[in-house]
Amino acid sequence: MGDIGQFLPMILIFAVAYFFMIRPQMKRQKDEKKFAAALKKGDKIVTKSGLHGKVVDLNDKDFSCIIETMAGRLKFDRSAISMEMSSKLNAPPKEK
């Protein structure tokens, strides 16, 4: 019991770190991959750098997409598209 008692605080610290830091981050990465895979032509998106546009073409070979902005067409990796900001952009307006 004495040997386990010495390591118990360390085990608890790792358990707390896993459930409050590592696991939520893994879930978020998984959700972002699903979001990037579910993109389709015509979706309005916002990149992580803040560029707004509409998906014009998707390339599954290199996992990229071409978006149309007011300045023209640009090619981006799908991982550069922000899930949070794009979801807010496409969400229906809240009623007051």
16's CB contacts (< 8 A; 6+ apart) are: none
60's CB contacts (< 8 A; 6+ apart) are: none
Q: 73: pLDDT confidence band, cut at 50, 70 and 90?
A: very high
Residue spans per domain, the chain: 2-90
Q: Convert the pLDDT of each residue in 5-57 to its tens digit.
A: 788 889 999 999 998 999 999 999 999 999 988 889 999 999 999 999 999 99
Q: Which fold has domain 2-90?
A: SH3 type barrels. (2.30.30)
* Cα distance between residue 83 and residue 74, in whole Å: 18
- With beta carbons less than 8 A apart as the criterion, state whether 93 and 86 touch: no
Instruction: Say if residue 4's pLDDT is above 80.
Output: no
pTM metric for this prediction: 0.71
